Amino acid sequence: MKVLIGQSANTMLIEADEGLCAKVELVLVVSEPKYIISAEDPAGFIKQREVTAMRFAASADQLLALAKSLENVAKAAKELESRAMLNPHADRERRTSSAQGLTQ
């Protein structure tokens, strides 16, 4: 899975049919591990990181909608994390009860 390691944004004016409009160029830099078989040792693996930059342009309204969506996802992740911290054994209990249901 790719992991966000950096971001950058540039604001620019673009001439369109309806006049000048502001666009934001957003650059996201992501990284993910890649494993390759070692040429020197066929039984061994070499871990490398692949870095990719993703660039796109958006209007101010599109960027605000994206930011709101990402904020909602971040809030849901925080809520999930806090619920897990309140009951750290919940996952084990759920697996135990599921296993007991299968044996009955």
* Segment 26-48 mean pLDDT: 85
Q: Which domain holds residue 48?
A: 3-103
pLDDT at 104: 47
Per residue in 51-60, pLDDT (tens digit) is 999 999 999 8
Alpha carbon distance 56, 53 (integer Å): 10
Angle at 101 between CA 99 and CA 104, to 5 degrees: 110
* Predicted model pTM: 0.62
Inform me whether the pLDDT recorded for 41 exceeds 90. Answer: no
Alpha carbon distance 48, 2 (integer Å): 13
Q: Total domain count for the chain?
A: 1
Inform me whether the pLDDT recorded for 9 exceeds 70. Answer: yes
Inform me whether the pLDDT recorded for 89 exceeds 70. Answer: no
